């Protein structure tokens, strides 16, 4: 029994010595801070900064990997002792960290086939490269379950929630599928993305082939084969933002506005450029969104004027037709009523489908609506930006917390969508048209009221920055309606 304390002391010293011999190495660049564990030769913490780590208003993504829950290499999973020694080199454009087997290691008794791992971490972008020297194929597992901070928005705003496993090829973006790839000159990226962040891996030219397997909703395994026993992988770990993406690969620009046609994506890029320019001038994102709405309103003025012209023409025709159609309906039925109605349209020289002309005026503005919707919804520039009671323009404004949960609406009261609805409803209240009287005017106002309510439901759980844009746009329209009303 006397030996028990000595056994416990011996085990404690062994554990302490093992822990003491394991050291962590921290690499700092303007965009990334990565902490490596010398035992596993893998990152255990990965911090990403946007726009960069020196910015006082930076957005930071912290990813923990102590238990290899996010990023792991199968051959390094079962290591029980420190097998590697590290060498650090810094040059102009990158930090280089090399892990090699310790000089005193017994090669014959090794539990891993990996003899060396080199990391090259860029100082000018969000790129990092890993070169693994292994006598066996490499198996990398990536599990982004919660690592990339997926959104948690209720209602229709929930379309921004969750992770996506994606493959980025020169032809476009598609979902990751269990498949084998023979490496050629084409650049292919595989990985995971959320609304604002993405972690992607690209096997390089010295890898002959690789297989994607064990795919589920948030993780996958990449198994690579190389005849040279060298496995070179490039990583992009950073924001889904144009300048950051293209600094690593122009192909990664495809991550932006992926659901849209190319011509619509270019409208998004144009709006993004305007917003970035305004923000660099004002230095306040809330005010920049307001000014963006004003600028777009000015740019769209020719289209808006055309749409309003067509709308007035439709109203004029409706006002002329309504009493005559009412008279025909009261005096005639059947074929006679139909014949006289067609004669009435012919007399006015209009097609019975003339009301679609007013819809055409609306349709020519819809691409801008969609582009603004996508651009503001995906812009990381809105994250952590405040305005008045709004703490973060990238999520609903959460003006007041409710003591209960309302299905679809969540458990917070969002004030901005209500203000947007009231502004739109006021525009309907003051609306007038010299050609619309009585029931026709009431019908038009009823449509505008219903539209205001529909937009309240639609935008209630959407990001506050998006609602701010449309509230500003509707306020400008209200000012115009009031001005025209009292001018006439």
pLDDT band at 218 (very low <50, low <70, confident <90, very high): confident
Structural contact between residues 455 and 373, judged by C-beta atoms closer than 8 angstroms:
no
Q: At what angle do helices 415-430 and 438-459 cross, to 10 degrees?
A: 170
Q: What is 54-119 written as a DSSP string?
A: T-TT-EEEEEE-TTSSSEEEGGGTT--S--EEEEEEE-SSEEEEEEEE-TT--GGG-S-SEEEEEE
The whole-number average pLDDT for the span 374-380 is 93
* Residue 19 reports pLDDT greater than 50: no
Whole-number pLDDT of residue 131: 95
Whole-number pLDDT of residue 23: 73
pLDDT tens, 415-452?
999 999 999 999 888 876 656 666 767 777 788 889 88
CATH architecture of 22-256: Distorted Sandwich (2.70)
99: how many CB neighbours lie within 10 A of its CB?
25
* Residue 181 reports pLDDT greater than 50: yes
CA 113/CA 120 separation, integer angstroms: 21
| Token pair listed for 318 | 């409706």
| Residue with the larger pLDDT of the pair 187 and 103 | 187
Whole-number pLDDT of residue 358: 64
Which residues sit opposite 12 in a β-bridge? Answer: none
CA 14/CA 21 separation, integer angstroms: 11
pLDDT tens, 253-300?
999 999 899 999 999 999 999 999 999 999 999 999 999 999 999 998
Cis peptide before 51 (omega within 30 of 0): yes
**pTM of structure:** 0.84
| Token pair listed for 290 | 């307001």
The rounded percent of the chain whose pLDDT value lies above 90 is 47
CA angle 436, 440, 444 (to 5 degrees): 95
The rounded percent of the chain whose pLDDT value lies above 70 is 88
Domain boundaries, the chain: 22-256, 365-488
CA angle 201, 205, 209 (to 5 degrees): 75
Structural contact between residues 44 and 65, judged by C-beta atoms closer than 8 angstroms:
yes
Q: Which alpha helices (DSSP H) does 332-437 contain, by range?
A: 334-348, 356-363, 366-378, 415-430
Whole-number pLDDT of residue 355: 64
């Amino acid at each position: 029994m006397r030996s028990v304390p000595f056994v416990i002391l011996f085990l404690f010293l062994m554990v302490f010595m093992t822990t003491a011999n394991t050291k962590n190495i921290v690499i700092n660049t303007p965009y990334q801070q990565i902490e490596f564990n010398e035992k596993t030769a893998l990152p255990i913490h990965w911090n990403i900064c946007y726009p960069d780590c020196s910015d006082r208003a930076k957005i930071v993504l912290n990813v923990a990997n102590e238990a290899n829950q996010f990023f792991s290499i199968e051959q390094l999973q079962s290591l029980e002792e420190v097998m590697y020694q590290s060498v650090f080199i810094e040059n102009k454009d990158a930090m280089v960290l090399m892990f090699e087997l310790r000089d005193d290691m017994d090669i014959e008794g090794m539990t891993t086939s990996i003899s060396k791992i080199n990391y090259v971490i860029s100082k000018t972008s969000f790129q990092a490269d890993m070169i693994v020297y292994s006598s066996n194929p490499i198996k990398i597992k990536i599990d982004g379950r919660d690592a990339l901070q997926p959104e948690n928005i209720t209602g229709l705003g929930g379309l921004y929630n969750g992770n996506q496993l994606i493959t980025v090829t020169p032809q476009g973006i598609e979902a990751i599928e269990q498949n084998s790839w023979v490496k050629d000159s084409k650049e292919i990226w595989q990985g995971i993305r959320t609304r604002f962040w993405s972690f992607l891996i690209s096997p390089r030219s010295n890898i002959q082939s690789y297989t994607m397997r064990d795919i589920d909703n948030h993780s996958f395994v990449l198994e690579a084969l190389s005849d040279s026993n060298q496995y070179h992988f490039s990583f992009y770990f950073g924001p889904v933002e144009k300048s950051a993406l293209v600094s690593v690969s122009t192909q990664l620009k495809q991550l932006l506005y992926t659901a849209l046609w190319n011509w619509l994506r270019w409208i998004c890029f144009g709006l993004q450029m305007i917003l970035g320019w305004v923000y660099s001038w004002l230095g306040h994102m809330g005010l920049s969104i307001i000014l963006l709405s004003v600028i777009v309103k000015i740019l769209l003025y020719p289209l808006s004027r055309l749409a309003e012209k067509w709308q007035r023409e439709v109203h004029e025709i409706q006002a002329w037709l309504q009493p005559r159609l009412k008279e025909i309906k009261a005096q005639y039925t059947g074929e006679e009523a139909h014949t006289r109605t067609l004669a009435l349209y012919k007399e006015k020289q209009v097609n019975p489908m003339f009301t679609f002309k007013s819809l055409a005026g609306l349709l020519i503005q819809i691409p801008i609506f969609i582009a603004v919707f996508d651009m503001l919804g995906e812009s990381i520039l809105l994250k952590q930006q405040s305005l008045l009671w709004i703490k973060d323009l990238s999520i609903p404004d959460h003006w007041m917390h409710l003591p209960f949960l309302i299905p679809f609406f969540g458990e917070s009261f969002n004030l901005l969508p209500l203000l947007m609805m009231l502004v739109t409803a006021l525009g309907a209240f003051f609306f007038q048209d010299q050609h619309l009287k009585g029931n026709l005017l009431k019908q038009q106002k009823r449509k505008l009221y219903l539209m205001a309510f529909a937009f309240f439901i639609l935008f209630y759980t959407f990001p506050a920055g998006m609602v701010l844009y449309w509230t500003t746009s509707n306020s400008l329209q209200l000012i115009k309606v009031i001005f025209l009303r009292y001018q006439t």
